[in-house]
């Protein structure tokens, strides 16, 4: 059985009661993609992020892959270091994303290359994802998927379409490139979305804003401490924050217990999320 950690059961119960009282038409879901909707481990082995898969499989050649690995080894330890301030992380994550995006542009990344990479068998959604997406679709509940990936929103869009779980209630907020007539990336669009500024995206500029502006209750789902801020730009009344934890870091334990209402240990399935949704949509 998947281990579930609830730091404050009473607080969680009170939040859920308030959300249920408002009913589902006043509710929406915000989720990260990599290692949140998808698994962090497959057959006991850690999986890469979408971008990691892309880099490891060499879709842009050895020169690009070597650059990407250097950037990862330089910046990723900073991203997960609990002793580094959020402000410093924001600056360095922006720097990291910018370098990776420029490397992709220099390697002439195209839509066709991404389409080919999407066929990777390393992408595995969490058990119970079909129920999750179907419940949201059936009850017309908006789902906002945030991603800091450097592979454009088309990768996520394509992944959802391939699984036949893409519907009108789903909106993807991710990085994107400016392309030429041949579909090659020639520049990247600002603002860059990274793991520590998702909540700073200008929500009112999103196509789905009119649909969610009066939905004051949120379930937020992520897998990193930075994801806790994905709802910062929303005017909400009640929020339940859920964290998928693939492996516990003792140094981060206090932080995630303070910031999340439900912690799903051991890279578990969507069952706990689906249980909450059923109570809300009745």
Residue-wise pLDDT for 123-143, tens only, equals 789 999 999 999 999 999 999
Q: Residue 112's pLDDT is what?
A: 79
pLDDT tens profile 190-240: 888 888 887 766 666 777 788 888 899 999 999 888 888 888 878 899 999
pLDDT at 13 over 60: yes
Tokens of 10: 């009473």
pLDDT at 1 over 60: no
169, 141 contact by CB (below 8 A): yes
Q: Residue 116's pLDDT is what?
A: 74
Judge whether 32 counts as a catalytic residue: yes
Judge whether 210 counts as a catalytic residue: no
Q: Residue 67's pLDDT is what?
A: 92
Q: What is the 3-state secondary structure (H, E, C) of 174-221?
A: CCCEEECCCCEEEEECCCCCCCCCHHHCCHHHCCCHHHHCCCCEEEEE
229's CB contacts (< 8 A; 6+ apart) are 196, 197, 198, 199, 200
Q: Confidence band (pLDDT; 50, 70, 90) for 252?
A: low
274's CB contacts (< 8 A; 6+ apart) are 128, 131, 132, 135
- Whole-angstrom distance, CA of residue 93 vs CA of residue 89: 6
Q: Residue 202's pLDDT is what?
A: 60
Which of 24-33, 64-73, 89-98, 150-159 is the least confident region?
A: 150-159
Q: Residue 250's pLDDT is what?
A: 64
- Whole-angstrom distance, CA of residue 233 vs CA of residue 92: 21
Q: Residue 48's pLDDT is what?
A: 65
Q: Confidence band (pLDDT; 50, 70, 90) for 248?
A: low
Q: Residue 73's pLDDT is what?
A: 93
Q: Residue 272's pLDDT is what?
A: 95
Instruction: Give the chain's mean pLDDT.
Output: 86
Q: Residue 162's pLDDT is what?
A: 82
**Of the listed 11, 32, 43, 249, which one is catalytic?**
32
Name the CA dihedral angle for 46, 49, 243, 214, rounded to a multiple of 10 degrees. Answer: -160
Q: Residue 133's pLDDT is what?
A: 98
101, 177 contact by CB (below 8 A): yes
Q: Residue 273's pLDDT is what?
A: 97
Total domains present in the chain: 1
- Whole-angstrom distance, CA of residue 137 vs CA of residue 160: 13
Q: Confidence band (pLDDT; 50, 70, 90) for 249?
A: low
Measure Cα distances from 170 to 11, 18, 29, 167 in Å. 29, 24, 10, 6
pLDDT tens profile 45-100: 766 666 777 777 788 888 988 998 899 999 989 988 888 998 999 999 999 999 99
| 41 Rama class: left (phi>0) / alpha (psi -120 to 50) / beta | beta
Domain range enclosing 114:
4-189+198-281
**Of the listed 11, 13, 34, 168, which one is catalytic?**
34
CATH at 34: 3.40.50.1000
Whole-model pTM: value is 0.86
Q: Which of 16-30, 101-115, 205-219 has the highest mean pLDDT?
A: 16-30
Q: Residue 77's pLDDT is what?
A: 92
Find the distance separating the first CA and the last CA of the chain, reported in whole Å.
25
26, 251 contact by CB (below 8 A): no
pLDDT at 145 over 80: yes
């Amino acid at each position: 059985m998947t281990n579930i950690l609830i730091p404050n059961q009473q607080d969680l119960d009170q939040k859920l009661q308030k959300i249920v009282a408002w009913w589902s038409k006043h509710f929406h879901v915000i989720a990260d993609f990599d290692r949140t909707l998808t698994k962090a481990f497959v057959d006991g082995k850690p999986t890469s992020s979408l971008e990691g898969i892309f880099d490891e499989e060499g879709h842009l050649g050895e020169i690009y892959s070597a650059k990407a690995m250097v950037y990862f080894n330089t910046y990723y330890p900073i991203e997960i270091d609990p002793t580094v301030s959020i402000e410093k992380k924001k600056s360095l994550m922006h720097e990291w994303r910018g370098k990776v995006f420029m490397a992709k542009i220099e390697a002439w990344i195209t839509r066709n290359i991404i389409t080919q990479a999407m066929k990777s068998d390393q992408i595995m959604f969490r058990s119970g994802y079909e129920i999750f997406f179907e419940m949201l679709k059936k009850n017309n509940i908006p789902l906002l998927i945030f991603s800091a990936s450097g592979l454009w929103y088309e990768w996520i869009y394509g992944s959802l379409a391939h699984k036949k779980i893409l519907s009108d209630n789903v909106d993807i907020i991710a990085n994107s490139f400016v392309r030429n007539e041949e579909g090659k990336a020639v520049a990247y669009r600002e603002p860059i979305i990274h793991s520590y500024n998702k909540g700073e995206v200008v929500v009112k500029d999103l196509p789905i804003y009119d649909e969610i502006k009066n939905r004051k209750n949120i379930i937020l789902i992520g897998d990193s401490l930075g994801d806790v801020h994905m709802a910062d730009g929303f005017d909400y009344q009640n929020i339940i924050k859920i964290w998928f934890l693939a492996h516990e870091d003792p140094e981060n334990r206090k932080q995630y217990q303070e910031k999340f209402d439900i912690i799903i240990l051991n890279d578990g399935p969507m069952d706990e999320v689906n249980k909450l949704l059923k109570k809300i949509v009745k």
